[in-house]
């Protein structure tokens, strides 16, 4: 039996019907040439189920004592394991677009996992267009974090289209074989020395001693917003529509961007890839809240998880800490916004400087305790520790296959909590970055538009960095045929305009005539009068239509994105 640590148990304590605490993802595959979807997926499901010894956490269920979650909690092997319950085969309704897929995933992600069984599910989904199929998985956060999920996915994939599974990737044998390929080292816990170091760090910051003055000064500056870019949980976190009570229904949307494109933005501003991701998300959230007339004067803050997993450790359920980042959504200029985000992240990293990974995790957990106490009291939406979560999970940087089926994208599906109704998580795969946005369906209306605003924000950053002009210069020249056509259209345009002006002059003369003559003409010629009335109605209708147009963002018309763009 394996005992759950404090963080693992915390995910179980925080769970409710309105707040499921599982993480997951959607993987998109293209069928191998000549393969039938139903036959292929039935074969895959059979291979997955064909094992007697499942690796943790797939074969383990929770074991609690008389005190329940407040006492000792362990993982134990489920003696009545029913793998047919956990691996399911589904089909999408027509026409099988990404819209139908994301609607299904939204519903599946809204339901709780059965705590009397191992805390995971896998859904093989057929019916997509273009010979694609999808795999949606969800596993309780008490059992895995993002990095462990990537290892689990990697263990069942190959970089060869000809490779075939010999046994179930959920089996112990498959996991041991995968561990051997990584040269995995055993994970160690928090040592006595590190516990003492944590105590010393806390004393230096909060207790009396030689460093009291500098510690108090740093925290005072942070709370006052002077001379320090350090953001802390609960520090100047504004209320917004993102920070409300939630219900159990979810909305999932996803999108892919080229890794090189986002990385180029970070490099142009002398920042990191993660800085560019945060700036891209910050710009999108700024636009979203502006369009709903809800942008607060104070900048939004994001919780940015940081992996503390040691090299070679693939067995730990959770090994993460958190940095609070200022998203600078109160700054209109994208370059200045990027600089503010960058300074905030550097300050957050400097705060943990000199600590080991285990020490960082311990201090990070202590800072999250007030939020964990507020959540069961229903006060998290009134005193949010941060506005949203933006998580970057490093993924697999080469094209992968599952029994010959090419992996096209891997989109994470994470958690929203009471008071934090929006989560943005991204995974790098091959040459791309796959974003998954999870939102409370009621609290975040039109969540799909955030995808459009992210593209606008990225374009805005490229313009500010001078990258867009470089792209324009590199564009191929149009053909001579296209150029001559454009020229002829340009010549024709003034003629049409002149003709329109000529027709307009007689109408102006008619309106200038005396009333009596105008009445006589109206009686003699009733048709033009009806025509004028029709034209007036058309003008009114056109004006109403113009007012109903979506707002422009960065000079572009915004449209609701219903699915993953290709």
Active site residues: 141
Question: Which of 286, 322, 291, 329 shows the shortest CA–CA distance to 307?
Answer: 322
CA distance 209 to 278: 37
Phi, psi of 388 (to 5 degrees): -155, 175
Q: Is 487 helix (H, G, I), strand (E, B) or coil?
A: helix
Who contacts 113 (Cβ-Cβ below 8 Å, separation ≥6)?
A: 20, 22, 119, 120, 121, 138, 140
Distances (CA, A) of 513 to 207, 219, 500, 501: 91, 79, 22, 20
- How far apart are alpha carbons 139 and 118 in whole angstroms? 9
What's the first-to-final CA gap in the chain, in angstroms?
A: 46
Residue 161 phi/psi, 5° resolution? -70, -15
Q: Are 338 and 269 in contact (CB under 8 A)?
A: yes
Residue for token digits 């004006």?
Answer: 543
Radius of gyration for the chain, computed over Cα atoms and rounded to the nearest angstrom: 29
User: How far is 410 from 398, CA to CA, in rounded Å?
Assistant: 12
* CA dist 206 → 190, 198, 218, 233 (Å): 22, 12, 11, 16
Tell me which residue of 190, 174, 414, 186 sits closest to 315, measured CA to CA: 186
Query: Are the beta carbons of 269 and 335 closer than 8 angstroms?
Result: yes
Pairing status of strand 422-429 against strand 132-140: unpaired
Q: Are 19 and 129 in contact (CB under 8 A)?
A: no
For tokens 């020395």, name the residue: 193
Which 8-state DSSP code applies to residue 115? T
Q: Among 320, 304, 417, 325, which Cα is nearest to 371's?
A: 417
Report the alpha-carbon distance of residue 419 to residue 248 in Å, rounded.
Answer: 13
Cα separation, 150 vs 393, whole angstroms: 8
| 331 to 266, 334, 426: CA distances (angstroms) | 18, 7, 24
Among 375, 366, 378, 280, smallest CA distance to 329 is for 280
**CB 125 within 8 Å of CB 92:** yes
Please check whether residue 235 is in contact with residue 397, taking contact to mean a CB–CB distance below 8 angstroms.
no
- The Cα–Cα gap between 467 and 360 comes to 37
Kindly give the residue spans of alpha helices, DSSP state H, lying in 227-333.
Answer: 259-268, 273-291
Specify burial of residue 434 (Cβ count, 10 A radius: 0-12, 13-18, 19+): buried
State how far the Cα of 506 lies from the Cα of 511, in Å rounded to an integer: 9
């Amino acid at each position: 039996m394996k005992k759950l640590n404090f963080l693992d148990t915390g995910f179980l304590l925080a769970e409710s019907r309105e707040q499921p605490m599982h993480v997951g993802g959607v993987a998109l595959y293209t069928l191998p040439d000549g393969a039938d979807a139903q036959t292929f997926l039935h074969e895959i499901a059979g291979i997955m189920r064909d094992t007697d010894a499942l690796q943790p956490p797939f074969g383990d269920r929770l074991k609690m004592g008389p005190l329940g979650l407040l006492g000792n909690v362990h993982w134990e092997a489920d003696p009545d394991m029913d793998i047919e319950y956990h691996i399911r085969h589904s089909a999408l309704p027509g026409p099988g677009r990404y819209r139908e897929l994301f609607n299904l995933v939204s519903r599946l992600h809204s339901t709780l996992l059965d705590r009397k069984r191992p805390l995971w599910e896998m859904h093989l989904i057929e019916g997509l267009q273009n010979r694609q199929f999808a795999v949606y998985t969800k596993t309780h956060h008490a059992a895995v974090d993002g990095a462990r999920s990537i290892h689990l996915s990697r263990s069942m994939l190959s970089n060869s289209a000809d490779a075939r599974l010999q046994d179930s990737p959920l089996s112990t044998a498959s996991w041991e074989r995968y561990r051997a390929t990584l040269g995995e080292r055993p994970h160690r816990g928090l040592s006595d020395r590190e516990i003492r170091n944590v105590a010393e760090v806390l004393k230096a910051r909060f207790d009396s001693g030689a460093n009291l003055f500098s510690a108090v000064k740093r925290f005072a500056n942070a709370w006052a917003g002077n001379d320090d870019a350090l953001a802390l949980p609960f520090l100047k976190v504004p209320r917004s529509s993102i920070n409300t009570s939630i219900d159990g229904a979810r909305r999932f949307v996803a999108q892919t961007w080229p890794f090189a494109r986002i990385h180029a933005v970070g490099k142009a501003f002398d920042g990191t890839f993660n800085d560019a991701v945060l700036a891209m998300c910050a710009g999108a959230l700024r636009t979203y809240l502006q369009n709903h007339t809800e942008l607060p004067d104070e900048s939004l803050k994001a919780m940015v998880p940081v992996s503390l997993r040691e090299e070679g450790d693939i067995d730990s359920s959770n090994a993460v800490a958190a940095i609070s980042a200022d998203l600078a959504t109160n700054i209109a200029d994208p370059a200045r916004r990027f600089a503010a985000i960058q300074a905030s992240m550097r300050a957050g990293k400097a705060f943990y400087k000199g600590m080991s990974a285990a020490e960082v995790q311990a201090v990070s957990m202590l800072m999250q305790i007030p939020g964990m106490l507020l959540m069961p009291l229903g006060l998290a939406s009134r005193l949010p520790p941060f506005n949203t979560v933006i998580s970057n999970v490093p993924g697999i940087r080469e094209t992968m296959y599952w029994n010959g089926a090419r992996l096209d994208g891997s989109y994470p599906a994470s958690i929203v909590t009471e008071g934090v109704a929006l989560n943005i998580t991204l995974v790098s795969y091959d040459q791309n970055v796959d974003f998954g946005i999870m939102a409370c369906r009621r609290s975040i209306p039109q969540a799909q538009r955030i995808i459009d605003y992210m593209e606008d924000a990225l374009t805005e950053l490229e313009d500010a960095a001078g990258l867009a002009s470089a792209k324009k210069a590199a564009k191929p020249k149009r053909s001579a045929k296209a150029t001559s056509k454009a020229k002829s259209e340009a010549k024709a345009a003034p003629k049409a305009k002149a003709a329109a002006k000529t027709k307009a002059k007689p109408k102006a003369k008619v309106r200038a005539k005396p009333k009596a003559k105008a009445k006589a003409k109206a009686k003699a010629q009733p048709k033009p009068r009806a025509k004028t009335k029709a034209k007036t109605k058309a003008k009114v209708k056109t004006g109403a239509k113009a007012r109903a147009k979506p707002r422009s963002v960065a000079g572009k018309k915004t449209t609701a994105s219903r699915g993953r763009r290709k």
